[in-house]
Structure 1
Amino acid sequence: MKAIITVVGGDKVGIIAKVSAYLAKHSINIADITQTILSGNFVMMMMVDFDNADTDIDTARKELTEESKSLGIEINVMNEKVFSAMHRI
């Protein structure tokens, strides 16, 4: 199962490291990633693969939301099929 993770917030050291460390800890593979700084805001989008993960998307969403609070950013996790359906023209 694939998911889209979006990360948005003020740019600061360690955002990519914390999110990536969480994913690695739970064997969630990063299939694709893009990140940029827009007007001082950090913006990252990742497509991740849960096929070998030791957790599910709901647990990851909850735990990454908690992590986002400590970083002062917003992290969203959405099933790739739902994300694609929402952004289809």
Structure 2
Amino acid sequence: MEKAIITVVGKDQVGIIAKVCTYLADSHINILDISQTILQGYFNMMMIVDASHAGEEFSTLADQLEKLGNEIGVNIKFQHEDIFNKMHRI
């Protein structure tokens, strides 16, 4: 299993979850866990996903998700689970 962490942050608007999840489904990326919240009009979502069946290279997926984020006005980051854990350990 190739786990990755996806974070999505930006001003809340209709369709953020739908667009991100549609991209993931089309890319054969399975959502293992998801958490989202809206604080004072700002949307924040974190997902743990399995990208082992994706048809694209990891870096291509990260670039495409970043581009999708730019199109819908949010910041989307796609990171390997190991890298995310090393960046966020105490």
**Which TM-score band applies after superposition, normalised by the shorter structure?**
over 0.9
Q: How many residues align?
A: 89
How far residue 70 of structure 1 moved from its aligned partner, in angstroms, is 1.2
Give the Cα separation in 2 of the matches to 1:23 and 1:17: 10
Residue range with higher mean Cα deviation, 40-49 or 56-65: 56-65
Residue range with higher mean Cα deviation, 49-58 or 33-42: 49-58
3-state SS in 2 of match to 1:24: helix
Give 2:73's aligned residue: 72
Give 2:48's aligned residue: 47
Give the Cα separation in 2 of the matches to 1:67 and 1:58: 14
Give 1:25's aligned residue: 26
Contact 1:50 1:56 in 2 (8 A): no
Give 1:63's aligned residue: 64
Normalising by structure 1, report the TM-score: 0.95
Letter of the 1:60 partner, please give it.
L
Large movers: runs of 4+ above 6 Å: none
RMSD between aligned alpha carbons? Answer: 0.8
3-state SS in 1 of match to 2:55: coil
What is the aligned-residue identity percentage?
52
Give 1:13's aligned residue: 14
Give the Cα separation in 2 of the matches to 1:65 and 1:85: 21
